Structures are given as structure tokens and as C-alpha cells.
Amino acid sequence: MTNKLSIISKIRLTVILITAAAVLLCGCGSTAKDGAQSLTSSSQSPTLDWDAGANAAPNEEIIWETGEWEIAEDAVEDFYEPQNPTASSDADGIEASQRKLIKNRDLSVETIEYDSLISELSGLVSQYGGYIQDSTQNGSSYYDTSLRSARFTIRIPAERFDEFTGLIGDMATVTYSYEYIDDVTASYIDLEARLKALKAEQESYLRLMEMATTVDEILKIQSYLSNVNYQIESFTAQLKSYDSLISYSTLSLSITEVERITKPAQQPGVFERIGTNLSYNLASIGDWFVNLFVGTASALPYLAIAAVIILILWIVVKAVIKRVFRQDNSLKSPERPENKE
């Protein structure tokens, strides 16, 4: 009995020792495997996480170490400018002389000396350093006897714009004038801030491009750079457009040829109104007789042809009528009786 208990105890002790040895061996193997994986991972070059999206910026917390290279906060410190700054508060503090203003004016004039005004206008525009952006002219055709008109879009340097429009008023009679100013100071400041931020972002990507080591990283950086470059070009074009509109004011000028100049609007008296209406009525009657004479004189060739045709028809009709009368008379006349011997 004692021998059996001794044998069972030895068997249990042996099983426990084998189990402990197995557990110890498994633990050592796992440790060695983890150490090998850690060594393998440390021997590979780390890469940046570019999965944030095409519009994502370099993260200042990412440190890229390849040998002696390290990108830390100083590589992207210039990028973190406000992407959509509130420019209204900055624009309010700008002096009036420094504000970005686009000045436009609509002007309508009438003149008796149409050709002279058109010629003087072209010379005046060149004299003031401006240019005619577009122009249209109507009337003065062979069949159209109406008075002429023209419309011009003129660009004049902003500092001489008021002086130029004043001279136009001296050269012709102004019948309509409207000026409107567009203050684009806030938009201009906003565009400048956005452009500055984009250029800083562009510089950051260029730094990353110099340190990229794989084709995938280079392609991704190029994609982000293309997007940034496009936005930079777009904002630069908008700023240039603003600069052109600010430095050169726009005048929309309408010129109408008239026979009589319109007097300035005022409250006339009774007799003055009678005299004005009488003058216009007499002028209208005179114009009607003139137009009648001109129309008749111009139609003389047609009238001559019509007169010849009427004369020929009258001669033919008269001859036919005369022949008809002769036949009727011959039928009505009695036959003479014969003398019988």
C-alpha cells in the first residue's frame, strides 16, 4: 500500500515538472518572437500617414526620422494660418484713402455735332491714359434717315476719372448721370490672407517632397501640391481682376445725336410753356414740309414712269372709246332709199 502511494506521488511530481517546463518554454518562445518582430520593425523606414485626405496638411505631431532627417513642428509652423479669416474687422480699421474701391458711372449725353464729339472723345481718352473697352454705333445708313447714336465703355485711371467725366459734361449736354461705388476692401483682404496661407502650405509640401523616399509618398505629395497650386492660381487671378477694376474706373457713355438740345429741367411759367410748345409745333410743321419736299423730289423718277404709263393708257382708252362711238353711229344712221324712175 505504501509503495503504491509512493509511485502515485512520483507520477504527480513528474507531470507537474513537465507542465512547468512546457509553460516556461512557451514563454521564452513568445518573448523571442516579439523581440524578433520588434527588431524587424525598427529596421524598416517609417512612413507618414497620408490617409487623412487630399486636402489634409502635414501633422506637426508626426516626426519622420530617416537617418539624420527629422520633421518636427518647425517644418509646418508656417502652414497653420487661418484658412478663412474674418476680414471685416480688419477692413473697418482701414483709412478711407487705403480702401479698395471700384468706381463706375453711367452717363447719357446729347449733341448736335455728333461727328465732332466722337472724334474729340477718342483723343481725350488717350490723353487721360485710358482706353475704350468696347463701342457700338447705330444709324446713318442709306435707307435709315434717323439720327445717330453710340455707346462706349471707357476705362480711365481712377485718380483722373472725375476730371474726365467733367470734361464730357462740358462737351455735350448731360441728360442722365448715375455713379455707384463698390467697396471690395474686405474681400480683397480675405483673398490676400487665403493666398498667404496657401503659399505657406505649398512651401510645407515642397519640404516634404525633398524628404520623400518612396514613389507612393512622392505621388501623394504631388497630388496635394497640384490642388494647392490650382487654388493659388485662382486666388491670384481674382486679385489681379480686383486690381484692374480698382486702378481703372469704368464709364458707360451713351451719345445721342439731336436736332435741338434739351434744356435743363425747370418749372417754366405759363407764357414760357406756350412759347416752347409753339416753337416745337412750328418746327414739326416745318419738318413735315421739308420731308414732303424731300420725298417728292426723291420719287421723281418713279413719278415720271407712272406719268408715262398713265399717258399711254389714256391714249389707248381714248382711241377705243372713239372707235366704239363710230360703230354706234354707223349702226344708228338710216339707210337712204333708192330713186325709182
Identify the domain containing residue 231 by its residue range.
Answer: 70-265
In a domain? residue 115: yes
pLDDT of 154 higher than 50: yes
In a domain? residue 19: no
Query: Chain-centre distance of CA 94, in angstroms?
Result: 28
For residue 164, what pLDDT is reported?
95
- Inter-axis angle of helices 270-298 and 300-332, to 10 degrees? 60
For residue 130, what pLDDT is reported?
94
In a domain? residue 4: no
pLDDT mean over 65-87: 41
pLDDT mean over 22-34: 49
For residue 13, what pLDDT is reported?
53
pLDDT mean over 2-19: 54
Q: Which of 102, 105, 112 has its CA nearest to residue 152?
A: 105
pLDDT digits (tens, 9 = 90+) for 195-232: 999 999 999 999 998 888 899 989 999 999 999 999 99
DSSP code for 73: G
For residue 229, what pLDDT is reported?
94
Grid coordinates representing 301? 423718277
| 83: Cβ contacts below 8 Å, ≥ 6 apart | 194, 197
pLDDT of 117 higher than 50: yes
20: confidence class by pLDDT, cuts 50, 70, 90: low
Q: What is the b/e burial string over 47-86, where b = at least 16 CB atoms within 10 angstroms of the residue's CB?
A: ebebeeeeeebbebeeebeeeeeebeeebbeebeeeeebe
Distances (CA, A) of 147 to 107, 139, 144, 254: 19, 6, 9, 14
Q: Say if residues 73 and 134 touch (Cβ distance below 8 Å).
A: no
- The whole-angstrom separation of Cα 99 and Cα 175 is 31
In a domain? residue 283: no
Higher pLDDT: 321 or 121? It is: 121
For residue 8, what pLDDT is reported?
52
In a domain? residue 328: no
In a domain? residue 305: no
- The whole-angstrom separation of Cα 268 and Cα 197 is 64
| 186: Cβ contacts below 8 Å, ≥ 6 apart | 87, 88, 90, 91
For the chain, the domain total comes to: 1
pLDDT of 41 higher than 80: no
For residue 278, what pLDDT is reported?
77
For residue 116, what pLDDT is reported?
92
For residue 147, what pLDDT is reported?
83
DSSP, residue by residue, 285-315: HHHHHHHHHHHHHHTHHHHHHHHHHHHHHHH
Angle made by CA atoms 159, 160, 161, in degrees to the nearest 5: 100
pLDDT mean over 255-265: 76
In a domain? residue 122: yes
47: confidence class by pLDDT, cuts 50, 70, 90: very low
Q: How many CA atoms lie within 13 A of 322 on its CB side?
A: 6
pLDDT of 3 higher than 80: no
Residue type, 233: E
Residue 221 CB neighbours (<10 A): 21
Higher pLDDT: 308 or 261? It is: 308
Per the prediction, the chain carries an average pLDDT of 75
Distances (CA, A) of 60 to 48, 71, 76: 11, 8, 6
